[in-house]
Amino acid sequence: MIHATAIVHPSARVGPDVEIGPYCIIGESVALGARTVLQANVVVNGWTEIGQDCIVYPFATVGAASQDRKYAGERAFTRVGSRTILREYVSIQRATGVDEVTSVGDDCLLLAYVHVAHNCIIGNGVTMSNLAQLAGHVEIGDYALLGGMSGVHQFTRVGRYAMVGGMSKINKDLPPFFLVEGNPARPYGLNSVGLRRAGFTAAERNEIKRFYKLLYDPKMNVSRAIEAMKATAETDRGREIVAFLEAPSQRGILK
């Protein structure tokens, strides 16, 4: 299932039933999982693994050298999980640092022109709309959604099931389950539709809403809000917000 015009290094590991279309280039240290499809003009190089049942659309690049000035050609990895779809012109770059990793999880959907820079960690089920851009060392939690033309500053964290509106600028950590939009981004409540679709119970949604109000109460700073949350948390979702807020942060919490 390899087109005659494709260039596949003899040392590349190609799983069963993989399709490699016209003019694709597959490097020496690449592994492609079973039934993955590279449609045409796809370049996969570096120390890169792509999982099973993925679809990569034309002109995407996976595993290219980091654009980081510090990158000096050291071995660094790129990993894409199973059942992930990469649309046209998506670029996912290898990490900076010996044996460091840039990773995209299972069941993700990255639409056209999405960019994932070095050392980013993207969870499972993440959707990134057209032209969403991640700087280096960004962490995106499971099932988060980034709107079109949104941009995330380096070293920023976005929590699980969070939603970022289109054309937003994210330069501080966004807690899980919340909705933000704007440049600079401002909080606008919960990702209510996403939480209902994901099967969150009414009790969970109510606690998330209560914790949102605590965090964004103008009379509260983050430390006081965390203490109030810890004293009243009743669900795992509420405790997840507390854990996110207490985790080490290089950017601080979006307020």
Sequence-separated (6 or more) residues with CB below 8 Å from residue 55 = 36, 37, 39, 85, 86
61/113 same-domain check: yes
Q: What is the pLDDT of residues 236-254, one digit of tens each?
A: 999 999 999 999 999 999 9
Print the domain residue range for 162: 7-190
Q: What is residue 56's predicted lDDT score, i.e. its pLDDT?
A: 99
Q: What is the pLDDT of residues 137-168, one digit of tens each?
A: 999 999 999 999 999 999 999 999 999 999 99
215/122 same-domain check: no
Q: What is the pLDDT of residues 79-102, one digit of tens each?
A: 999 999 999 999 999 999 999 999
141/236 same-domain check: no
**Is the residue at 1 inside a domain?**
no
Strands 145-146 and 127-128, bridge-based pairing = parallel
What is the domain count for the chain?
A: 2
DSSP conformational letter for 105: -
**Is the residue at 231 inside a domain?**
yes
204/184 same-domain check: no
CATH code of the domain covering residue 174: 2.160.10.10
Q: CA distances (Å), 9 to each of 43, 59, 234, in order?
A: 12, 19, 55
**pLDDT band at residue 220 under the 50/70/90 scheme:** very high
40/111 same-domain check: yes
Q: What is the pLDDT of residues 48-67, one digit of tens each?
A: 999 999 999 999 999 999 99
185/203 same-domain check: no
H helix intervals, the chain: 192-197, 202-215, 222-232, 236-246
**Is the residue at 253 inside a domain?**
no
Q: What is residue 169's predicted lDDT score, i.e. its pLDDT?
A: 98
146/209 same-domain check: no
147/212 same-domain check: no
212/125 same-domain check: no
Among candidate residues 64, 140, 57, the one with its CA nearest the CA of residue 105: 140
**pLDDT band at residue 200 under the 50/70/90 scheme:** very high
**Is the residue at 2 inside a domain?**
no
Q: What is residue 14's predicted lDDT score, i.e. its pLDDT?
A: 98
140/167 same-domain check: yes
Q: What is residue 219's predicted lDDT score, i.e. its pLDDT?
A: 93
**Is the residue at 254 inside a domain?**
no
**Is the residue at 74 inside a domain?**
yes
Residue 181 in tokens: 């939009």
Q: What is residue 210's predicted lDDT score, i.e. its pLDDT?
A: 98
Instruction: Using a pLDDT cut of 90, give the percent of the chain over it.
Output: 100
253 neighbors 222 (Cβ within 8 angstroms): yes
As a whole number, mean pLDDT of residues 2-24 equals: 98
Report which residue type is found at 114. V
